[in-house]
Amino acid sequence: MAWYQDILQSLHHIHDHVVELKQALFAQGEQLANLKTRQDKIMSTLDDILAKQDAALAKATANTDALGAIKTILDANTATIADLKAQLDAAGADPAKLQQLSDNMDKILAAADTQAAAEAALANTGSTPVDPNA
């Protein structure tokens, strides 16, 4: 019967190892579940970051477009000033021509004020520029 005792003892050791393996596998399953939860949170955070990055890129693109519009206006103003200087040089001392030049300058300044108001409204609302001539 010694062989029977040996078999029972071996089965008991095998049972103990199976229980230990089962506990280890259960612990690893919990760790995997925790990792999955963390991965889901990370992916959610990554999605949020990507969405914010896309929004920031859209704003930067819009700002670039606005800056391009402002550059166009500044270039036009520079050309207007050069044109006025040429008219002033051509007017010489003729009072009628100087008055006409003064009237043109008043119109340009009024249009610049209207454009500045439209640009300020654009900056405050973030919408499309308003045509001051509309």
At 64 the pLDDT is 67
CA 77 to chain centroid, in Å, comes to: 31
SS3 content of the chain, % helix, strand, coil (to 5): 90, 0, 10
Domain boundaries, the chain: 32-125
| C-alpha to C-alpha distance for 20 and 29, rounded to whole angstroms | 14
Q: Which whole-number Å values give the CA distances from 52 to 40, 103, 126, in the listed order?
A: 18, 51, 18
Alpha carbon 111 to chain centroid distance? Answer: 33
Per-residue model confidence (pLDDT) at position 125: 62
Residues 6 or more apart whose CB falls under 8 angstroms from that of 131 comprise 118
Q: What pTM, to 2 d.p., does this model score? A: 0.38
Residue 21 pLDDT? 92
Q: Give the tens place of pLDDT for each residue, 38-65.
A: 888 777 776 777 777 777 767 766 766 7
**pLDDT recorded at residue 20:** 92
